[in-house]
Amino acid sequence: MDFENQINSIIETIGERKALVNTEEATKMTFIMPFLKALGYDVFNPSIVVPEYTADIGIKKGEKVDYAIFKDGKPFILIEAKNHTENLDNHNNQLIRYFNTNPNIKFAILTNGIEYRFFTDIEQKNLMDKTPFLVINLEKLKPRDIKDLKRFICTDLNLDEILNIAIEKKYYRNIQDIFKNEIENPSDEFTSFFAKQITEKRMTNAVLEEFRNYIKKSFKEIINDLAYDKITNIKNNLQAVNDDEDEEEIDSNKEIVTTEEELQSFYIVKSILAETDTNLDDITYKDTLSYFSILYQNKVTKWICRLYFNNSKKFITFPDGTSQNIEKLEDIYKFKENILNSLNSRK
């Protein structure tokens, strides 16, 4: 079973058994240990996963953290586990104390078996950051969460790469949190930034409050418009797929002919993907009466792009709803970023 399927299996287990899991130990056995196994760590090998790991703190001896994961004979991840009913906001301090007991510790995970918060020491070496660089909630799993978790698979570990990405992730999260807070409750500085560009009124409390309401409503409309555009694109794509399938049923007696132009486009896309670490044998194609589809791992649900060459007007589409006209085959190189993003979304 591949990693994504294992994670989905854990999510199913959470849904089925959460009501039956009432203790911290049950949470560890039912949710957390399968999660560690999915990442490839042998939970029954004490040289890799050490439960109740001793993390002495100064004069305090015998302090224990729930799990330590070892690499090359040294602990590099500490895990503090709580019952799935626990709010993790109440337990950061305990893990902060453990983190600086060993300079080999690179990461700390605080979890209740459903939510996983990943910490490191971006701000000050060997001192755990107060905010996580990554938060994964298995009950609200996003496609990018799978990609982030894969970096912690034991056979694919690249600590330097994870630490570099952790810096980006942490600042992304902080920016998103600040932006979300400003949208929900605009500060005076945020409100003043917009108001001063719109009015010459003096920034009194009354003016700030007036514009605070304008800002809230404006951002709500922007978010609603973005969501509407995204939903519309998805609906249009689904309609296009259905129309294509209907057309193929009607024209089922017609022969599908893969043209030289379509094959050339396939090799152009492969040449673009050759710059990545992708196994090019995983890049295949499927020709239909309506379009020529380039696939990842030969799965129609993992299409990277579709080329419509059967009409006088040629164009290329991507899974995110983007569509671009093509005058000549060389134009495909212009959409390198779209192609790479499509592939990454399929992995």
pLDDT at res. 143? 84
**pLDDT, mean of residues 325-347:** 90
Contact assessment for residue 72 and residue 63, using Cβ atoms and an 8 Å cutoff: no
Structure tokens at 172: 């992304």
Which residues, at least 6 apart from 10, have a Cβ–Cβ distance to it below 8 Å? 31, 34, 35, 38, 138
Pair 78, 209 in one domain? no
Cα(34)–Cα(5) distance, integer angstroms: 12
Pair 239, 265 in one domain? no
Pairing assessment for the beta strands 283-287 and 134-137 based on DSSP bridges: unpaired
Pair 51, 117 in one domain? yes
Look at residue 61 and tell me if it is in a domain.
Answer: yes
Look at residue 157 and tell me if it is in a domain.
Answer: yes
**pLDDT, mean of residues 172-196:** 91
**pLDDT, mean of residues 221-243:** 71
**pLDDT, mean of residues 151-170:** 89
pLDDT tens, residue by residue, 104-145: 899 999 999 999 999 999 988 888 998 899 999 999 998 889
Residue 346 binned pLDDT confidence (cut-offs 50, 70, 90): confident
Contact assessment for residue 52 and residue 79, using Cβ atoms and an 8 Å cutoff: no
Pair 44, 142 in one domain? yes
pLDDT at res. 230? 74
The percent of residues in the chain predicted with pLDDT above 70, rounded, is 91
pLDDT at res. 237? 62
pLDDT at res. 91? 79
The residue range of the domain holding 225 is 192-250
End-of-domain residue from the set 230, 250, 270: 250
Look at residue 255 and tell me if it is in a domain.
Answer: no
Look at residue 267 and tell me if it is in a domain.
Answer: yes
Pair 48, 171 in one domain? yes
Pair 207, 281 in one domain? no
Residue 303: beta bridge partners? Answer: 295
Pair 26, 169 in one domain? yes
252 pLDDT above the threshold of 60: no
240 pLDDT above the threshold of 60: no
pLDDT tens, residue by residue, 19-41: 999 999 999 999 999 999 999 99
Q: Which residue's structure tokens are 């009015």?
A: 199
pTM here is 0.61
The structural domain count of the chain equals 3
Pair 22, 165 in one domain? yes
Cα(98)–Cα(108) distance, integer angstroms: 9
End-of-domain residue from the set 175, 209, 227: 175
Pair 54, 139 in one domain? yes
Mean pLDDT over the full length of the chain: 87
CATH of the domain at 112: 3.90.1570.30
pLDDT tens, residue by residue, 41-86: 999 999 999 999 987 665 556 678 899 999 999 999 999 999 999 8
Look at residue 180 and tell me if it is in a domain.
Answer: no
Cα(57)–Cα(111) distance, integer angstroms: 22
Residue 250 binned pLDDT confidence (cut-offs 50, 70, 90): very low
Pair 32, 82 in one domain? yes
H/E/C letters for each residue in the chain? CCHHHHHHHHHHHHHHHHHHCCCHHHHHHHHHHHHHHHCCCCCCCCCCEEEEEECCECCECCCEEEEEEEECCEEEEEEEECCCCCCHHHCHHHHHHHHCCCCCCCEEEEECCCEEEEECCCCECCECCCCCCEEEEHHHCCHHHHHHHHCCCHHHCCHHHHHHHHHHHHHHHHHHHHHHHHHHCCCHHHHHHHHHHHCCCCCCHHHHHHHHHHHHHHHHHHHHHHHHHHHHHHHHHHHHHHHHHHHHHHCCCCCCCCCHHHHHHHHHHHHHHCCCCCCHHHEEEEECCCCEEEEECCEEEEEEEEEECCCCCEEEECCCCCEEEECCHHHHHHHHHHHHHHHHHHC
Contact assessment for residue 268 and residue 332, using Cβ atoms and an 8 Å cutoff: yes
End-of-domain residue from the set 116, 150, 175: 175
Question: Rounded to the nearest 5°, which phi and psi values hold at 52?
Answer: 50, 50
